[in-house]
Amino acid sequence: MPKADHEIDVNLEMHSDGFTHAVPRNIPEIMFQGETVHYRSTDGEVSIEFSERDLSHAGSSFCSPFLDTNGGEKTVISSTEGPIKLSNRGIFFCHCFITPPGGAKIGWSPDSPLSGGNTVVK
């Protein structure tokens, strides 16, 4: 698999709230349109979902910084995919999930907000 401009690690972490969260560790503060991103984890298969529009910030009417091969908005990204290009500018909020080998999917919910993060694309 080719190397991405940004390799974003997502880890399963037990927190003091008693829940295990799928926490992104190294999302850059700012990324740029045209750069590539890949999500990965040593804890299992990662899936990232972009589903919320951040209406408090001007600049994008998209939920996701990514486009699919047909030019439509791509809102679900998997660690099994190769690097994907940042196509849309704006501020995007992602929900992170990890499916451990042989286990159930762990990640974002209203009770697990640590399993997410902001992606800023200029």
Can you state the percent helix, strand and coil of the chain, rounding each to 5? 0, 45, 55
Which pLDDT band, with edges at 50, 70 and 90, does 112 fall under? confident
- Domain spans, the chain: 6-121
**What is the rounded CA–CA span in Å between residue 33 and residue 89?**
6
Q: Tell me if 93 sits within 8 A of 122, measured CB to CB.
A: no
pTM: 0.88
- Summarised one tens digit per residue, pLDDT across range 81-97 is 999 999 999 889 999 99
pLDDT at 18: 78
- Summarised one tens digit per residue, pLDDT across range 32-59 is 999 999 999 999 999 999 986 655 554 5
**What is the rounded CA–CA span in Å between residue 117 and residue 84?**
18
- Choose which CATH entry (2.60.120, 2.20.25, 2.60.40, 3.30.70) describes domain 6-121: 2.60.40
Nearest to 45 by CA among 2, 5, 104, 121: 104
**What is the rounded CA–CA span in Å between residue 67 and residue 64?**
8
**What is the rounded CA–CA span in Å between residue 45 and residue 10?**
10
Indicate the DSSP class of residue 29.
S
10 Å CB burial of residue 30 (0-12, 13-18, 19+) is exposed
